[in-house]
Amino acid sequence: MNHGHPIERSRFLLAAAALGIGATQLGRVTAAAAAGTGRSRTTTAVRSVGGFDVIALYDASGPFFTTRQVAFPTATPVDWERAERLDPAAFGPDDQWNLDFRCYAIRRPNGRVILVDTGVGPAGSPASSWAPVPGHLPQRLIDAGIDTDDVDLVVLTHVHSDHVGWSVHPDGVPMFANARYVLQHDEIAALEAGGGEAMLRYLVDPLRRAGRLWEVSGATPLVGGSGGSDRCRSTTVRVVPTPGHTPGHQSVLVEGGRRQIAITGDVLVHAVQLVNPDVGYRYEDDQEIARVTRQALLAEAGSRHTLLATAHLRQPFVTAPSPGRPRHR
């Protein structure tokens, strides 16, 4: 999400234990997590696609810095009602929007991992002026049995500070030593066109210097189609451009067998945009492009029964509404 407005960190209530979600919303729970507190916030939700595991990695949680009506000005009472049924934990008192900050790992049968987004980061990260830092991604990776050296690709859906926080150390050394970092050319070009100097200095320049930046243009296959076991040969992972939230925003599609998962980044940031894709988010870079992108992605996902993996909803996986199901009363 965009976050042009600083926020009092005291507004973020970091008591993760108080933020439980129903166990029925979770997939397989890792043994390590199950041995923990038993609260769902510390468990790891996993969905499998053709032999690949898509693992939700909860980094942080907190209330947004404006009311939900300010963030989504065109949402109607009916939209809110339907959204609350779908993602009730996002609804706090006094019109408060509670949101998660989540990353995803895609673990292949060979043990290698694609990480999608890197969260709000540690104390002092670029997101720390407004987001609930430190995030918990390093512990979540351990919980999921993922060593940082196992990660060979890091996809950054976009360069907002709550999606890149655990990418590089403060001295600029990449946190995932064996990984190439995938960014759309348009995203970098937008930074370079003006106003993005801080993020260029913090993220892009160090990755370039380390030879770790993989700048792609448009839809790009990352994994699949060859190698691996027969069962997994047809499973593919690719990035697709989903502009609007930012100019070079991208999403990740994992496809194999009969199931597809779309890791959407910030194409939708609240369930209200799932029940009504026309509802714009105030801090989108280009609201019209974002709306068209959201409609197209959700229509495609609905017709293919694609599971959505979002960064900010309070549940890690949601089903896209099927086409034909009325979005408005």
Q: Interface with Zn ion by CB under 5 A: which residues? A: 1, 162, 266
Using alpha carbons, select from 144, 146, 126 the residue that is nearest to residue 135: 126
- Residue 205 one-letter amino acid: D
In total, the chain counts a number of residues equal to 329
Closer CB to Zn ion, 255 or 266, in the complex: 266
| Least distance in angstroms from the C-beta of 245 to Zn ion | 8
Look at residue 154 and give its three-state secondary structure.
strand
| Least distance in angstroms from the C-beta of 269 to Zn ion | 6
Residue 134: phi, psi to the nearest 5?
-75, 150
Closer CB to Zn ion, 131 or 204, in the complex: 131
| Least distance in angstroms from the C-beta of 243 to Zn ion | 15
Closer CB to Zn ion, 52 or 181, in the complex: 181
Closer CB to Zn ion, 7 or 34, in the complex: 7
Residue 224 makes CB contacts below 8 A (sequence gap 6+) with 233, 234, 235, 236, 237, 238, 256
Q: For residue 11, what are the β-bridge partners?
A: none
Closer CB to Zn ion, 150 or 186, in the complex: 186
Dmax over Cα atoms in the chain, in whole Å? 53
Residue 211: phi, psi to the nearest 5?
70, 25
Residue 86 makes CB contacts below 8 A (sequence gap 6+) with 271, 274, 275, 318
| Least distance in angstroms from the C-beta of 195 to Zn ion | 18
| Least distance in angstroms from the C-beta of 162 to Zn ion | 5
- Residue 278 one-letter amino acid: D
Cα separation, 147 vs 313, in Å, equals 26
Cα separation, 227 vs 10, in Å, equals 50
Write the CA distances from 129 to 70, 118, 120, 167, integer angstroms.
20, 17, 11, 17
Closer CB to Zn ion, 48 or 246, in the complex: 246
| Least distance in angstroms from the C-beta of 293 to Zn ion | 15
Closer CB to Zn ion, 244 or 256, in the complex: 244
| Least distance in angstroms from the C-beta of 311 to Zn ion | 5
- The per-residue b/e assignment along 149-179, b for 16 or more CB within 10 angstroms, e otherwise, is ebbbbbbbbbbbbbbbbbbbeeeeebbbeeb
| Least distance in angstroms from the C-beta of 149 to Zn ion | 27
Nearest residue to Zn ion, using CB?
1
Closer CB to Zn ion, 151 or 156, in the complex: 156
